[in-house]
């Protein structure tokens, strides 16, 4: 396949950037955008020079896209994804992949039966600093992740576990090559009916411990990942895409001396890397970096945490799994 014909369903805060990036990357052609907000979809479409649709079926019938980015509210992921997969379109679905684990399993079966790619939009995996750190990490014994920031009314349909912590869970699961032994979590509602602050700990069978702190009601903004290994300490700054490495070396006559390194590597827009990888996977027929199984596993961990934070059954569809 030379050029992948792509559409974007949902052109809100994040979806508009999906649409923009598809006009900028190699091997892709944006053939249309879809949104129920007629004024918004026409504005985005006009800016990008592509057709606008408010009806998904009409878009699928008229453009017959090879692939689609699904950037709509999580509760509608299953409906949109099933329609697109039924028309033979490869999918990139923003996180969390679905509202329920059984829905993710259903999509996995459909995509597998039709031999279609289903990538999950865990964008932090494509952060240049995270990719650099992944090449360096060998034996993590303790991981600490902090994702804090001020309140924004834009996200009010889910709490911080599914909105923010799921990013860190996905990265930690990709770094630690071990099954999970146990999970503990707690949280607090502050400005919304959902948890606005959450703290969780994951203990792995191999002994690795990960601690995750997230908040959307903190004035100071922080996005960091700290990885402790037996011989060194690696710190990742998600926002600046910087990596700092601390380790001790034996100096003759001086004993152990701490050395701090700042690796130099190219920094690129994570979304552009993510969508380029999606397009390349379709053209080359290979598996994506973050597939549906990864998305489903991260969702399972989130569900276990939400059960502890809110109690069984208090999170509707999510916590009832």
pLDDT of 1-48, one tens digit each?
A: 689 999 999 999 999 999 999 999 999 999 999 999 999 999 999 999
Cβ-Cβ contacts under 8 Å for 317 (sequence gap 6 or more): 75, 99, 100
282 touches 117 (CB < 8 A): yes
Q: What single-letter DSSP state applies at residue 214?
A: E
Q: What is the mean pLDDT of residues 180-192?
A: 95
The answer, yes or no, to whether residue 321 has pLDDT greater than 60, is no
- How many C-beta atoms lie closer than 10 Å to residue 1's C-beta? 12
pLDDT digits (tens, 9 = 90+) for 84-104: 999 999 999 999 999 899 999
The answer, yes or no, to whether residue 151 has pLDDT greater than 80, is yes
**Bridging pattern class, strands 142-148 and 255-261:** unpaired
Cβ-Cβ contacts under 8 Å for 281 (sequence gap 6 or more): 90, 117, 119, 287, 288
Note the pLDDT of residue 153.
Answer: 77
Q: Does domain 4-122+270-287 have CATH number 3.40.50.720?
A: yes
pLDDT band at 312; cut points 50, 70, 90: low
Q: What single-letter DSSP state applies at residue 291?
A: B
CATH architecture, domain defined by 125-268+301-319: 2-Layer Sandwich (3.30)
147 touches 124 (CB < 8 A): no
Residue extents of the structural domains in the chain = 4-122+270-287, 125-268+301-319
Q: What is the mean pLDDT of residues 130-136?
A: 95
Note the pLDDT of residue 1.
Answer: 61
* pTM of structure: 0.89
Rounded CA gap, 65 and 30, in Å?
Answer: 9
Cβ-Cβ contacts under 8 Å for 305 (sequence gap 6 or more): 161, 165, 183, 185, 198, 200
């Amino acid at each position: 396949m030379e050029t992948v014909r792509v559409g974007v369903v949902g052109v809100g805060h994040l979806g508009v950037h999906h649409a923009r990036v598809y006009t900028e990357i190699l091997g892709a052609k944006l053939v249309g955008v879809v949104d129920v907000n007629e004024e918004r979809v026409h504005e985005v479409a006009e800016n990008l020079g592509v057709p606008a649709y408010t009806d998904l079926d009409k878009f699928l019938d008229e453009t017959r896209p090879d692939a689609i980015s699904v950037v709509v509210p999580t509760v509608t992921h299953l409906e949109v994804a099933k329609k697109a997969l039924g028309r033979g379109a490869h999918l990139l679905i923003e996180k969390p992949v679905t509202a329920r684990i059984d829905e993710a399993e259903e999509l996995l079966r459909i995509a597998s039966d039709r031999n279609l790619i289903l990538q999950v939009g865990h964008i932090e995996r494509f952060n240049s600093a995270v990719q650099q750190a992944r090449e360096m990490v060998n034996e993590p014994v303790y991981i600490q992740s902090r994702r804090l920031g001020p309140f924004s009314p834009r996200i009010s349909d889910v709490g911080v576990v599914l909105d923010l912590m799921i990013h860190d869970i996905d990265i930690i699961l990709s770094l630690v090559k071990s099954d999970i032994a146990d999970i503990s979590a707690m949280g607090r509602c502050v400005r919304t009916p959902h948890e606005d602050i959450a703290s969780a700990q994951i203990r792995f069978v191999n002994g690795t411990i990960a601690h995750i702190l997230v908040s959307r009601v903190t004035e100071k903004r922080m996005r960091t990942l700290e990885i402790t290994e037996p011989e060194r300490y690696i710190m990742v700054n998600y926002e600046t895409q910087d990596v700092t490495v601390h380790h001790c070396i034996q100096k003759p006559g001086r004993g152990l001396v701490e050395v701090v390194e700042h690796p130099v590597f190219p920094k690129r827009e994570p979304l552009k890397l993510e969508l380029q990888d999606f397009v390349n996977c379709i053209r080359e027929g290979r598996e994506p970096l973050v597939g549906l199984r990864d998305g489903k596993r991260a969702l399972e961990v989130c569900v276990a945490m939400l059960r502890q934070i809110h109690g069984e059954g208090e999170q509707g569809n999510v916590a009832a799994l």
